[in-house]
């Protein structure tokens, strides 16, 4: 080869590494396990010592494209039941390793950590992630639509142990094949990627796809795992019975003795059938109460494990504010008290390029709320490498009446647009049908069209939403009714080399949400924001200054506070806002938000602060306080909201929390004490105490509930 040809070849190889973020080798092989492994994080068995691994990690932050400053090695073994992943995180300064947490579902942002993402379908769209820190704490979840969404509430059955030495820290993962969903091929080829975070350096080291326009959850940029064979016939029958006992002291003292459980059957490695009987959620932490200073519905996130496990199969492309299926409509009354669930059946999984989710739940009668059946069916089809189309149907049936929502959506995601940029667009349309409505009010329409360009230096999005006056999703969530909304925002995020302490600047030229009445086309609300200055420092601090301009059109009087009513009419007002955070990798860190300016025909000042102290892996305390001071011609008032949490952990399998909250609107203190013991993965014991105190006339206990719950897992 000529010298000129060699130069061209070297240029092309280097360009591929720059543009494609591919580091060779980009394939890791799993080797059959010979002998036994003791899960202890020591990685000293002969099988680990003899297996080849990968160690070619590259920085994503802070110095893009440069080799990792500390060596990391990954090896993979397997047997007929489990996948084993060994990780060697060497460190030249082991005293600087940051590890402050032990509990399940820890916050990885505060610690050194190692993450694994596995695309078992090989579809470059969906996957699982598993995270640990030097203490062996566990975090897991599911990746949806190439990182567009994550289900961090999914709790798989797996385990990890970690060990610290004078050479660094080391981790040993065991992931049962029964925890994963994968094709029924004899030879498995999966997407896989790894990321190591070194918190004191704020360094992110990634195996493949280290572009700042990407992140670990974009499985389309992952490497490849080969070598696993003979596991496609994995079957599983899983029994998870529970027993609960407790007592409630209130106006009417009550004992609680109950039992029920789930039966899970893995029809194929990709399709799971679940039966739940007498479902109970006693272990779920209390909602954080919200004081509503708007005219619209409040959103409370789902916390119940049964509905969280497969929620990605039922997501639909109408966005956050319009949801045809909102699982909190099932088993919860409007006041958020529990309604008994008699039984339910659920099917979810993926076959080839087709994803299917189906669920039917029957709830019992409670007081004036009748028994009801809730059913949802969701189908999605992958087309090519970038497009997904889908259908959904949701029905609520009670007392001979039905409320049905049915719709279709399309989603396009390209993570290699013009090289390695991201481009996303799509849309959804749905119609509701209510059987007992007037003939011309039985149906109503909603839709959404959106475009996103989510990249590092330039982030842009735009969308058009519509919820017609007669759209009525009784098993869904609708923040406001009878509206159209046009929204767009842009962030410009340069990384100035002439400011050595600055990671990046963040400017927002515009961000607006314009709502107007779908029937009259009159304005409902306008929100705009301009950010003249925002930045992230290399030491981990964050700051932003925002200017906001708002408009509200009240078509009727707004009763915002007892004795205070804002008259109907049009209002225009402006706000200034400052937000700042210190680096959360320190033992003590804080976040602050201050906003001041107009509020309808008056003024508002808002102060919100959070403070967290984590002196050791066994103890973490945090608190938050929000004050809204509102002055109006009709009167003035203040809203105080206080919350606090103490987390303790003996080890990764025994931990607890004490959570309390109060606000001066409800005048109640809510206290939740919770202990979780995991004797083995998949089995849980909970001890929970909930207390409500009235504060209107001194501190008085209103209700105390003490419950113990055991969920045991059997595999047949």
The string of pLDDT tens digits covering residues 611-631 is 999 999 999 999 999 999 999
**Among 220, 169, 209, CA closest to 56:** 209
CA distances (Å), 631 to each of 68, 248, 546, 559, 573, in order? 54, 42, 22, 14, 13
Q: How confident is the model at residue 585 (pLDDT cuts 50, 70, 90)?
A: confident
pLDDT above 90 covers what percent of the chain?
68
pLDDT at 418: 85
Residue 297 and residue 513: Cα distance in Å, rounded? Answer: 17
The string of pLDDT tens digits covering residues 544-573 is 999 999 999 999 999 999 999 999 999 999
**Among 348, 338, 401, 353, CA closest to 376:** 348
pLDDT at 4: 41
pLDDT at 12: 33
- CATH 2.60.40.1190 domain position(s) in the chain: 21-226
Q: How confident is the model at residue 1 (pLDDT cuts 50, 70, 90)?
A: very low
Q: How many helices (H) and strands (E) does the chain have?
A: 3, 43
- Does 50 score more than 60 pLDDT? yes
Q: For residue 48, give both structure tokens.
A: 């680990």
- Does 412 score more than 80 pLDDT? yes
DSSP code string of 57-112: -EEEESSTTSBPSS-EEEEEEE-SSEEEEEEEEE-S-GGG------STT--GGGS-
- Beta carbons within 8 Å of 91's beta carbon, 6+ residues apart: 70, 97, 167, 168, 169, 198
- Does 9 score more than 50 pLDDT? no
- Beta carbons within 8 Å of 582's beta carbon, 6+ residues apart: 540, 541, 589, 590, 591
Q: Phi first, then psi: give them for residue 664, nearest 5 degrees.
A: -85, 0
Give the three-class secondary structure for 308: helix
- Does 3 score more than 80 pLDDT? no
Q: How confident is the model at residue 280 (pLDDT cuts 50, 70, 90)?
A: confident
Residue 350 and residue 176: Cα distance in Å, rounded? Answer: 19
Mean pLDDT of 406-428: 92
Residue 219 and residue 225: Cα distance in Å, rounded? Answer: 13
Q: For residue 344, give both structure tokens.
A: 């339910």
pLDDT at 6: 35
Structural contact between residues 550 and 574, judged by C-beta atoms closer than 8 angstroms: yes
* Beta pairing class for 223-226 and 27-32: parallel
pLDDT at 365: 92
* Beta pairing class for 27-32 and 72-78: parallel
- Beta carbons within 8 Å of 517's beta carbon, 6+ residues apart: 482, 483, 523, 524
Q: How confident is the model at residue 234 (pLDDT cuts 50, 70, 90)?
A: low
Residue 679 and residue 676: Cα distance in Å, rounded? Answer: 10
- Does 53 score more than 70 pLDDT? yes
The string of pLDDT tens digits covering residues 181-190 is 888 777 899 9
Label residues 387-425 b or e (16+ Cβ within 10 Å = b).
Answer: ebebebbbbbbbeeeebbbbbbbebbbbbeeeebbbbbb
Q: Which residue do the tokens 């990792």 mark?
A: 68
Residue 73 and residue 196: Cα distance in Å, rounded? Answer: 10
Mean pLDDT of 252-274: 86
How many beta carbons lie within 10 A of that of residue 556, not counting itself? 8
**Among 615, 582, 585, CA closest to 97:** 585
| Structure-model confidence comparison of residues 15 and 574, the more confident one | 574
Residue 706 and residue 255: Cα distance in Å, rounded? Answer: 10
Q: How confident is the model at residue 21 (pLDDT cuts 50, 70, 90)?
A: confident
Q: For residue 237, give both structure tokens.
A: 């029958």
Q: Which residues pair with 373 in a beta bridge?
A: 362, 397
Q: How confident is the model at residue 235 (pLDDT cuts 50, 70, 90)?
A: low
Chain centre distance of CA 286 = 18
* Beta pairing class for 602-616 and 619-632: antiparallel
According to CATH, the topology of domain 21-226 is Immunoglobulin-like (2.60.40)
Instruction: Output the average pLDDT for the chain.
Output: 90
Q: How confident is the model at residue 289 (pLDDT cuts 50, 70, 90)?
A: confident
| Structure-model confidence comparison of residues 144 and 686, the more confident one | 686
pLDDT at 338: 84
pLDDT above 70 covers what percent of the chain?
97
Mean pLDDT of 687-696: 91
Mean pLDDT of 228-240: 80
DSSP-derived letter for residue 370 is: P
Q: For residue 236, give both structure tokens.
A: 């599983």
pLDDT at 452: 96
pLDDT at 431: 97
- Does 11 score more than 80 pLDDT? no
Mean pLDDT of 576-591: 94
Lowest-pLDDT range, 15-24, 361-370, 425-434? 15-24
């Amino acid at each position: 080869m000529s010298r000129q040809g060699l130069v061209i070849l070297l240029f092309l190889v280097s360009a591929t590494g720059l543009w494609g973020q591919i580091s060779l080798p980009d394939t890791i092989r799993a080797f059959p396990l010979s002998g036994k492994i003791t899960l202890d994080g020591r990685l000293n068995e002969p099988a680990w010592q003899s297996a080849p691994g990968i160690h070619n990690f590259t920085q994503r932050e802070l110095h893009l494209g440069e080799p990792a400053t500390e060596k990391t090695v990954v090896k993979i073994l397997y047997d007929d039941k489990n996948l084993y992943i060994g990780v060697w995180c060497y460190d030249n300064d082991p005293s600087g390793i940051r590890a402050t947490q032990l509990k399940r579902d820890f916050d990885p942002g505060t610690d050194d950590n190692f993450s694994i993402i596995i695309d078992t379908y090989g579809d470059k769209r969906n996957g699982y992630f598993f995270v640990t820190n030097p203490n062996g704490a566990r975090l897991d979840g599911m990746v949806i639509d190439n990182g567009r969404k994550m289900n961090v509430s999914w709790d798989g059955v797996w385990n990890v142990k970690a060990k610290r030495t004078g050479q660094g820290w080391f981790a040993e993962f065991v992931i049962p094949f029964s925890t994963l969903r994968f094709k029924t091929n004899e030879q498995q080829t999966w997407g896989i990627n790894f990321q190591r975070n070194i918190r004191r350096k704020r360094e992110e080291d990634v195996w493949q796809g280290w572009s700042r326009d990407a992140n670990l959850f974009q499985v389309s940029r992952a490497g490849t795992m080969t070598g696993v064979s003979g596991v496609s016939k994995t079957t599983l029958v899983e029994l998870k019975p529970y027993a609960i006992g407790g007592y409630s002291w209130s106006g009417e003292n009550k004992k609680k003795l109950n039992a029920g459980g789930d039966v899970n059957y893995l029809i194929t490695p990709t399709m799971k059938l679940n039966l739940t009987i007498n479902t109970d959620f006693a272990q779920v932490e209390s909602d954080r109460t919200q004081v509503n200073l708007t005219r619209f519905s409040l959103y409370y996130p789902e916390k119940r494990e049964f509905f969280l496990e497969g929620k990605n199969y039922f997501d639909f492309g109408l966005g956050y504010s319009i949801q045809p299926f909102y699982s909190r409509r099932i088993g919860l009354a409007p006041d958020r008290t529990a309604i008994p669930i008699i039984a339910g059946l659920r099917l979810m999984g993926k076959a080839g390029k087709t994803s299917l989710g189906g669920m039917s739940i029957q709830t019992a009668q409670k007081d004036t709320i009748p028994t009801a059946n809730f059913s949802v069916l969701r189908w999605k089809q992958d087309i090519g490498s970038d497009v997904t189309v889908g259908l959904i149907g949701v029905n609520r049936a009670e007392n001979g009446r039905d409320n049905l929502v049915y719709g279709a959506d399309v989603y396009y995601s390209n993570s290699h647009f013009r090289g390695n940029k991201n481009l996303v667009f799509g849309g959804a349309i749905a119609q509701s049908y209510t059987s007992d409505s007037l003939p011309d009010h039985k149906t109503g329409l909603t839709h959404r069209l959106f475009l996103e360009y989510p990249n590092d230096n330039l982030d842009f999005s735009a969308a058009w939403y519509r919820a017609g006056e007669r759209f009525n999703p009784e098993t869904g969530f609708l923040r406001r009714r009878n509206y159209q909304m046009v929204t767009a925002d842009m962030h410009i995020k340069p990384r100035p080399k002439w400011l050595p302490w600055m990671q990046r600047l963040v400017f927002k030229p515009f961000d607006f949400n314009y709502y107007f009445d779908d029937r009259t086309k009159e304005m409902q609300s306008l929100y705009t924001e301009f950010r003249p200055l925002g930045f992230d420092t290399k030491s981990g601090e964050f700051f932003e200054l925002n200017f906001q301009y708002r408009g509200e059109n009240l078509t009727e009087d707004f009763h915002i506070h007892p004795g205070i009513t804002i008259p109907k009419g049009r209002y225009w007002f402006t706000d200034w806002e400052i937000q700042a955070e210190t680096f959360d990798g320190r033992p003590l860190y804080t976040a602050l938000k201050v906003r001041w300016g107009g509020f309808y025909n008056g003024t508002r000042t808002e102060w919100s602060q959070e403070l967290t102290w984590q002196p050791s892996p066994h103890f973490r305390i945090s608190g938050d306080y929000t004050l809204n001071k509102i002055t109006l011609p009709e009167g003035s008032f203040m809203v105080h909201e206080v919350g606090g949490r103490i987390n303790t952990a003996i080890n990764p399998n025994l931990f607890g929390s004490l959570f309390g909250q109060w606000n001066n609107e409800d005048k109640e203190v809510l206290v939740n004490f919770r202990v979780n013991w995991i004797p083995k993965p998949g089995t849980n014991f909970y001890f929970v105490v909930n207390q409500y105190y009235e504060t209107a006339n001194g501190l008085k206990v209103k209700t105390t509930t003490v419950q113990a719950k055991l969920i045991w897992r059997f595999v047949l």
